[in-house]
Structure 1
């Protein structure tokens, strides 16, 4: 237990001169954003994810099989938007191949604009949204999540992918003490799962008890705060930058 807690603490309060510096808590914040955004997309826009593409592939299969409540077109639009966002995010990452702070700043700034645009669009449309408004929101959020994933992938912080939890949870079990491992990364992996859970929980509660668009506002403000934090690190020469 002490190993897990120590690992979790180092993830939340990292040494700024370590290999990844402040990136772990920042990526945890992005994981919370993912939970908020996917809660909105699934609960408000219908059975569609904008960050979890594994789910969308399965939903497309369900739709083709004739299952009710799933839209093949919505899942395809989400998948296509995500891919375009990942391409844009990849091109942005290639502009800063040796400067992770500038990469993260560009990625979070663009993502924040897209998420806040989705929030404003949601506020200006009827509840439930029309078909056109629904697809606009899927496109905006799919682009944002694709860009986020591309940036997180290029940043390369182990066990903090911001969206994919299957491998994370597998690592907790397969590398844990019950499996004969050292559980050396269990704290970090558990925090990633908890961050996703808390984001989705907060999103679900807000949607069912308040304004359905509030998860997007909170996600957008979180991204704005991240932009402010990362902007102060752009001129840093600490080891994690490169």
Structure 2
């Protein structure tokens, strides 16, 4: 019988190097890449666009309440715009999922290519404006990045790979604790869940460190590069008839 550590290690290994014939094929490591992008982009939005998230909508709802209660440093308009742009991106992701419903690789590839365009546009704009951004520059960046992250969230939801939502960690962390052996659980998928949390942490850490060292635009460039890498990883599978693509 494997120890909890051995089980966790095996689950993490199987997430990073999945069985090509498994139920999700190469999707788990690619979704971890998207989780890193979430950390990078939210670090940029919070630190360079003034206390607003473009991927974590729970945070925006809370920030909106803070602002309405008179707390300083928060903007109702920024939170509302982020919510609306994220919702529009999610709606676009829903439309894409309806049109490419029969092939998971092509669905994620289409969404990721669109994200590359949106995040690259945000990066170009971030190079042309003063950061932290204000006024119309701030609203445009929130719009571009909110669309990108809403699109990602909707498509990843449709892919339904367990514990790899790429944008939300609350249930993932809850699962780590609630399913742990000491809580009477089977420690199911703890390796994958830990990797998901680590991926977002590392993305946010890298983004915050770059901004803190005077490279405020680089989180978006790194995010675009990571998205392009995910798209490249999907290209060989766009015509695949493997079971995981259906």
> In which range does the TM-score fall when normalised by the shorter chain?
over 0.9
Match of 2:32 in 1: 28
Match of 2:64 in 1: 60
> Which of 7, 17, 31 is the equivalent residue of 2:11?
7
Query: 2: distance between equivalents of 1:145 and 1:139?
Result: 10
Q: Normalising by the residue count of structure 1, what TM-score does the alignment of the two structures yield?
A: 0.99
Number of equivalences: 242
In structure 1, runs of 5+ residues without a counterpart are none
Match of 1:115 in 2: 119
Deviation of 1:225 after TM superposition, in Å, equals: 1.5
Deviation of 1:241 after TM superposition, in Å, equals: 0.5
Match of 1:196 in 2: 200
Query: 1: distance between equivalents of 2:25 and 2:183?
Result: 30
Are 1:209 and 2:213 matched, yes or no?
A: yes
Deviation of 1:210 after TM superposition, in Å, equals: 3.3
Deviation of 1:204 after TM superposition, in Å, equals: 0.4
> Which of 188, 195, 207 is the equivalent residue of 1:184?
188
- Pairing of 1:51-200 with structure 2 (within 5 A): 51-200=55-204
Contact kept? 2:49, 2:134, Cα under 8 Å: no
In structure 2, runs of 5+ residues without a counterpart are none
Query: 2: distance between equivalents of 1:146 and 1:235?
Result: 26
Contact kept? 2:112, 2:230, Cα under 8 Å: yes
Query: 1: distance between equivalents of 2:113 and 2:89?
Result: 13
* 1:216-241, Cα deviation, whole Å (9 max, x unpaired): 00000111111122111111121111
> Which of 211, 217, 222 is the equivalent residue of 1:218?
222
RMSD of equivalent CA atoms = 0.7
Change in Cα spacing, 1:124 to 1:6, as seen in structure 2 (3 Å) is same
> Which of 16, 39, 46 is the equivalent residue of 2:43?
39
